[in-house]
């Protein structure tokens, strides 16, 4: 059985930089690190997907993506969006942007443009 890769990107709010934590299937992780830095460190999980350029996508990333809508009569309507990647606990899945698109919405193309800590201004464009 193939295990999916479990990675976290950790934003340090004091040093304002990212660290990476990669867990192997055999790893065990204690809670001491998280309890020691409860506010300083913000954990963001790798969502298991890469963008069209091969870059890992994490929650908190700002992505540019297009959704391919096909109407009843067969016409296609491709709409483009920019939004933050977030986890939606209600539906147990990652969603993109204010419209909360998911991979079930026929996302055609996706590209990581930045993240909410270093490039928050991209959200308002």
pLDDT digits (tens, 9 = 90+) for 3-28: 677 788 989 898 899 987 766 655 55
Share of the chain above pLDDT 70, in %: 79
**Tokens (6 digits) for 24:** 């192997």
Residue 45 within a domain: yes
Residue 1 within a domain: no
No. of helices (H) and no. of strands (E), the chain: 1, 8
The predicted model scores a pTM of 0.79
Residue 82 within a domain: yes
Q: Report the pLDDT value the prediction gives residue 28, as an integer from 0 to 100.
A: 56
Rounded mean pLDDT, 28-36:
51
Give the range of the structural domain holding residue 104, as residue numbers without chain letter.
Answer: 6-122
Residues whose CB is less than 8 angstroms from the CB of residue 11 and which lie 6 or more positions away in sequence, other chains included:
17, 18, 41, 42, 44, 60, 117
**Tokens (6 digits) for 10:** 């950790």
Residue-wise pLDDT tens digits, 65-100: 988 877 777 778 888 889 999 998 888 888 888 777
Q: Report the pLDDT value the prediction gives residue 115, as an integer from 0 to 100.
A: 96
Residue 21 within a domain: yes
**Tokens (6 digits) for 52:** 């069209």
Q: Report the pLDDT value the prediction gives residue 118, as an integer from 0 to 100.
A: 94
Residue 24 within a domain: yes
Residue 89 within a domain: yes
Residues in the chain: 125
Q: Report the pLDDT value the prediction gives residue 11, as an integer from 0 to 100.
A: 92
State the total domains in the chain: 1
First to last CA, the chain: 43
d(CA 93, CA 23): 20
Residue 92 within a domain: yes
């Amino acid at each position: 059985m193939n295990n999916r890769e479990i990675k976290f990107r950790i934003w340090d709010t004091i040093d304002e930089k990212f660290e990476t934590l990669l867990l192997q299937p055999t790893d065990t992780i204690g809670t001491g690190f998280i309890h020691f830095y409860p506010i300083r460190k913000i954990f963001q999980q790798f969502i298991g997907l890469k963008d069209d350029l091969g870059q890992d996508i994490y929650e908190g990333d700002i992505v540019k993506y297009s959704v391919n809508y096909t109407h009843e009569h067969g016409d296609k309507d491709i709409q483009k969006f920019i939004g933050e990647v977030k986890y939606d606990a209600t539906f147990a899945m990652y969603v993109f942007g204010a419209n909360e698109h998911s991979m079930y919405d026929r996302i055609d193309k996706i590209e990581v443009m930045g993240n909410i800590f270093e490039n928050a201004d991209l959200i308002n464009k």
